[in-house]
């Protein structure tokens, strides 16, 4: 479950931030490997990644097998896919480019059952992977299947309160890359821009005032630590593509430092 438990003995300690891996590659085995790590969740990116419905279903089953929470980011406006992956056992939906309350309400319609939304009944795969009876799933679904719009534009920041006040919206996820493009009017792709950082703090404060979750994407281990210390509830630990690139580059850099130049390294 995507809840922030406080394991500290101090009454004033903040609950620790949850962490999610973020996958673009649509291999269910990779989802299993990541779910076996010390993360709380694995996010499957169907917006910018290669996931289709079949690979999402198989990956959700593997993530559940490892005892972790499956999250799916759907493509822009593809709310019908949100319903289908919830039926397959996803625990949360991240929906990109939600800019106002009307779009948030439309998202909720596909993700929450009556009386909050109008999600159609059919969570048979979800019941199988969670080993629940249908009635047990029905009773908990509206509370435990999370609806998380992305805040990644100046318009969304300006309308954050109305988005959060939509019944069925459980929190928001900050997309710092697109937010930097929006705030700079397309002039600067920089997730660490001062106005992005300031917006992150404001978004967190407003989420807290309304009792809603605040999730964020990190761009480095240092940034992840910073977001955790600010008090975000969940932090995405970068994308698998970037981890693969950085891991390869790290090995090559170490190799270049260790192997004699005569072998051709470091030229």
* Residue 262 pLDDT exceeds 80: no
Boundaries of every domain in the chain? 18-236
Per the CB < 8 A criterion, the answer to whether 44 and 51 are in contact is yes
What is the pTM assigned to this prediction? 0.92
The residue-averaged pLDDT of 70-95 equals 98
Joined tokens for residue 152: 């990644």
pLDDT single digits (tens) 25-78: 999 999 999 999 999 999 999 999 999 999 999 999 999 999 999 999 999 999
- pLDDT for the residue 244: 94
pLDDT band at 129 (very low <50, low <70, confident <90, very high): very high
CB atoms < 10 A from the CB of 54, how many?
Answer: 10
pLDDT single digits (tens) 195-241: 999 999 999 999 999 999 999 999 999 999 999 999 999 999 999 99
Active-site residue, 48 included: yes
Among the listed ranges 1-5, 10-14, 194-198, 247-251, which one has the minimum average pLDDT value? 10-14
Among 92, 114, 118, which Cα is nearest to 172's? 92
Per the CB < 8 A criterion, the answer to whether 240 and 25 are in contact is yes
CB atoms < 10 A from the CB of 39, how many?
Answer: 20
> CA-to-CA distance for 175 and 168, rounded, in angstroms?
20
Tell me what percent of the residues of the chain surpass a pLDDT of 90: 88
Q: Give the fold, CATH level 3, of 18-236.
A: TIM Barrel (3.20.20)
Angle at 217 between CA 169 and CA 26, to 5 degrees: 90
* Residue 168 pLDDT exceeds 80: yes
Integer angstrom CA distances of residue 67 from 59, 170, 216: 13, 22, 22
> CA-to-CA distance for 161 and 183, rounded, in angstroms?
18
- pLDDT for the residue 3: 78
- The residue annotated as part of the active site, out of 6, 37, 48, 139, is 48
> CA-to-CA distance for 39 and 239, rounded, in angstroms?
14
């Amino acid at each position: 479950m995507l809840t922030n438990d406080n394991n500290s003995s101090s009454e004033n300690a903040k609950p620790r931030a949850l962490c999610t891996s973020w996958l673009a590659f649509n291999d269910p085995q990779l989802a299993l490997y990541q779910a076996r790590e010390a993360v709380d969740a694995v996010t499957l990116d169907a917006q910018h990644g290669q996931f289709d419905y079949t690979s999402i279903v198989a990956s959700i089953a593997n993530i559940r097998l490892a005892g972790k929470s499956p999250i799916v980011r759907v493509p822009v406006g593809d709310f019908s896919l949100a319903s289908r992956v919830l039926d397959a056992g996803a625990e949360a939906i991240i929906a990109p480019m939600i800019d106002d309350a009307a779009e948030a309400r439309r998202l909720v319609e596909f993700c929450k059952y009556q009386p909050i939304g109008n999600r159609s009944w059919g969570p048979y795969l979800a019941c199988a992977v969670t080993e629940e009876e249908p009635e047990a799933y029905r009773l908990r679904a509206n509370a435990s299947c999370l609806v998380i719009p992305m805040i990644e534009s100046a318009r969304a920041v300006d309308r954050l309160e109305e988005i959060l006040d939509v019944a069925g919206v459980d929190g928001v996820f900050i997309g710092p890359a697109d937010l930097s493009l929006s705030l700079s009017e397309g002039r600067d792709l920089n997730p660490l821009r001062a106005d992005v950082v300031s917006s992150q703090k404001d978004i967190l404060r407003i989420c807290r005032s309304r009792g809603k979750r605040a999730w964020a994407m990190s761009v480095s281990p240092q940034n992840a630590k910073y977001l955790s210390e600010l008090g975000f509830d969940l932090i995405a630990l970068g994308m698998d593509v970037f981890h693969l690139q950085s891991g390869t580059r790290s090995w090559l850099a170490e190799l270049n430092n260790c192997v004699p130049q005569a072998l051709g390294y470091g030229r």
